[in-house]
């Protein structure tokens, strides 16, 4: 449960999209795909473990929270056990990453170390990012831009405008997972002194933020087609629109508390579905 399965699509979609883009150009590398996917999942799980631990230590996770159970706060594991679990998972991510460093060189090492450090600094350290309203930006950068562009680079040895463009919808929808999580927790986060962007913006603006990110994500494939970067299957991501529409309506309806947990789960599913469909569109001849 501490691994937070609902958030794991955040690690899968960027690798799938970047790998599909490389495959569409005839430069797919199976070893890179498997290693990048494994490392991404391990970093995501490690970040979730660290978040479980540090939010408990800082008083953000209490019995008053309305989200899924946090194992440290619930007393299911001790702080020491969670520290060891976090170190183990991030250590494994580092070991897997050594293969990727061998493939991509020192830039990949820098990205990998920054990703591991970011996983810890998100809610830990003397100036935790999530507590100062920077969580959304962190997620967009590392689970969108960095994840997609780095994976594409590992396959192709290049960094292109296409890779950055593909990272935008991936990053926006994965950020929406955090947006709805923080929307649900506004009251308890404010009480704990956790100044997330949702706390700073307020309830109504955070709901608009969620929908705005979805709108932009679904406009990107249109731009990709106009730029000639995708083929006739550019419209495939639109097949996920019914799910996005239902989620947006639920958020705009003012849904509160535990009911937002269903939106959280649905947003994770949307991120994976959108990523798979976007990836499939990239395999189509231009």
pLDDT of residue 9: 78
Return the H-helix or E-strand segment holding 59.
none
CB atoms inside a 10 Å sphere around CB 5:
12
pLDDT of residue 125: 65
Number of domains in the chain: 1
pLDDT of residue 2: 47
pLDDT of residue 192: 81
Copy the structure tokens of residue 268: 């994770």
Q: What angle do CA 72, 50, 113 make, to 5 degrees?
A: 165
pLDDT of residue 1: 44
Q: Which residues of 120-149 are buried (b: 16+ CB within 10 A; e: fewer)?
A: bbbbbeeebbbbebbbbebbbbbbbbbbbb
pLDDT of residue 74: 53
Copy the structure tokens of residue 152: 């594409």
pTM: predicted TM-score of the whole model, two decimal places:
0.88
Residue span of the structural domain in which 48 resides: 5-283
Three-class SS state of 65:
coil
pLDDT of residue 79: 67
pLDDT of residue 274: 98
Domain CATH for 74: 1.10.600
DSSP letter at 171 equals H
Ranges of residues in the chain with a pLDDT under 50 are 1-2, 60, 62
Burial of 71 (0-12, 13-18, 19+ CB in 10 A): buried
Q: How far is CA 224 from CA 9, 122, 240, 274, 285, in A?
A: 23, 32, 17, 15, 14
> Is the CB of residue 164 less than 8 Å from the CB of residue 149?
yes
Closest of 121, 108, 134 to residue 39, by C-alpha: 108
Note the pLDDT tens digit of each residue in 88-124: 888 898 899 899 999 999 999 998 888 778 777 776 6
pLDDT of residue 34: 97
> Is the CB of residue 7 less than 8 Å from the CB of residue 51?
no
Helices (H), 105-240: 106-121, 135-140, 147-156, 161-184, 186-192, 197-201, 203-226
Give the CA-trace dihedral at 111, 117, 121, 127, to 10 degrees.
-90
> Is the CB of residue 192 less than 8 Å from the CB of residue 58?
yes
> Is the CB of residue 231 less than 8 Å from the CB of residue 286?
yes
> Is the CB of residue 164 less than 8 Å from the CB of residue 150?
no
Q: How far is CA 106 from CA 109, 119, 120, in A?
A: 5, 20, 21
């Amino acid at each position: 449960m501490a691994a937070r399965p609902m958030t794991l699509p955040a690690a899968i979609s960027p690798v799938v999209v970047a790998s599909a883009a490389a495959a569409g150009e005839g430069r797919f590398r199976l070893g890179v795909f498997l290693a990048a996917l494994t490392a991404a999942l391990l970093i995501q799980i490690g970040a979730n473990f660290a978040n479980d631990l540090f939010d408990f230590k800082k008083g953000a996770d209490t019995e008053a929270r309305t989200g899924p159970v946090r194992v440290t706060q619930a007393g299911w594991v001790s702080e020491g056990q969670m520290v060891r679990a976090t170190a183990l998972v991030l250590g494994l991510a580092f070991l897997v990453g050594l293969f990727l460093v061998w493939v991509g060189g020192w830039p990949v090492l820098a990205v990998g170390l920054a990703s591991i450090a970011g996983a810890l600094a998100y809610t830990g350290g003397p100036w935790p990012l999530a507590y100062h309203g920077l969580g959304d930006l962190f997620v967009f950068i590392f689970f969108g831009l960095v994840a997609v562009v780095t994976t594409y680079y590992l396959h192709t040895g290049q960094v292109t405008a296409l890779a950055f463009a593909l990272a935008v919808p991936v990053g926006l929808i994965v950020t929406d997972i955090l947006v709805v999580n923080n929307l649900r927790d506004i009251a308890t986060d404010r009480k704990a002194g956790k100044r997330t962007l949702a706390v700073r913006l307020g309830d109504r603006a955070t709901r608009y933020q969620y929908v705005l990110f979805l709108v932009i994500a679904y406009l990107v494939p249109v731009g990709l087609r106009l730029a000639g970067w995708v083929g006739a299957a550019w419209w495939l991501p639109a097949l996920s629109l019914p799910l996005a529409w239902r989620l947006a309506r639920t958020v705009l309806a003012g849904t509160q508390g535990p009911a937002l947990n269903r939106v959280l789960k649905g947003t994770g599913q949307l991120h994976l579905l959108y990523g798979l469909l976007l990836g499939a569109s990239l395999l189509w001849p231009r």
